[in-house]
Amino acid sequence: MRIGFIGLGTMGRPIVARLLRAGYAVVVHNRSRGAVEWAVSQGAVAADSPAAVGGAADVVMTSLPYPETVETVYFGPGGVREGARPGQIWVDLSTIAPAHAEAFYGRAKELGVFFLDAPVSGGPMGAEAGTLTIMVGGDAEAFERVRPVLAAFGRMIVHLGGPGKGSAVKLINNLLVAVHTVALSEAFVLGAKAGVDPAVLHAVLKASTGHSFMIDRTIDLIQDRDFAPRFSIALLHKDVRLALQFAEAMEVPLALGAQAQAHLVRAMAEGHGGEDVAALIRPLERSLPSAFERRSRSSSGFGSRTPARRR
């Protein structure tokens, strides 16, 4: 089985590396030539367009930042559809809205092609380790055919139902990521204002009911002032926007989601859009950044760094 892969960004690179390591023949395309050269050095074959990927692969995978990009790559001029053939499977690993996934599924079906929305959670480190959670919507037949491919980079691989179901669950997950991250930012700023060592606060929360995965994922980055984008505020803003639109269509009010989105908008307005979601604390810190700098682990009782940093 030959795999086509388009989108060699933060997630795409480690996924392609896992596919190659699993023995799959992989043909790649990316706008950045440097990313393609990296993939070729790992054993992949370069294609000069999405259409060429479509013509060369049995399964086409995409990992792209925005639904508009996904649509262009598959259905635009020079897109995958120009090289498609009946029975081919397209697997979109991006975070898009259920409505997008349903529309892409319908357009692919007209070509005799299967479309699966299969967004992932686990971040770059999860991709590198092959431990991603993969949420899949679409036809069960196509899902079973590609399950071994997904297993090259995923641990929990769940078929959730028809088209759009994978995207729905991913938006719910990222809605919680936003709410949790804003809440922990407020909590740690409050603790710092009260004179509590953030490392000690973290240690207490780890053993208490207020603990969450996002605290473990984020607090080390805050204390190290490391806001390099594993998962950027701009992308989380996009995901929450899609989640709020989805909820509105479902007639479900999301008061906390709307508040989290307002905080994301503020962070972007202050210039933090390209930074990691850990930087959501920055608009709240104001004069307190020094309170979060790394202190001696031996004196603070701060536990070992949690290895997985997921989105």
Give dist(CA 225, CA 100) in Å, integer. 36
User: Beta strands 132-137 and 120-121: pairing type?
Assistant: antiparallel
Q: At residue 159, what are phi and psi to the nearest 5 degrees?
A: -90, 115
Query: Is 170 noted as a catalytic residue in this protein?
Result: yes
Give dist(CA 280, CA 238) in Å, integer. 15
170, 193, 206, 238: which is the annotated catalytic residue?
A: 170
39: CB partners within 8 A, 6+ apart: 5, 8, 13, 16, 26, 28, 30, 46
CA atoms within 13 A on the CB side of 227: 20
The two three-digit tokens of residue 205, written as one number: 């929360």
Q: At residue 105, what is the residue type?
A: Y
CB 137 within 8 A of CB 101: yes
How many Cβ atoms are within 10 Å of 140's Cβ, its own excluded? 11
Q: At residue 289, what is the residue type?
A: P
Q: How far does the chain reach from its first CA to its final CA, in angstroms? A: 30
CB 95 within 8 A of CB 108: no
> Which residues are identified as catalytic?
170
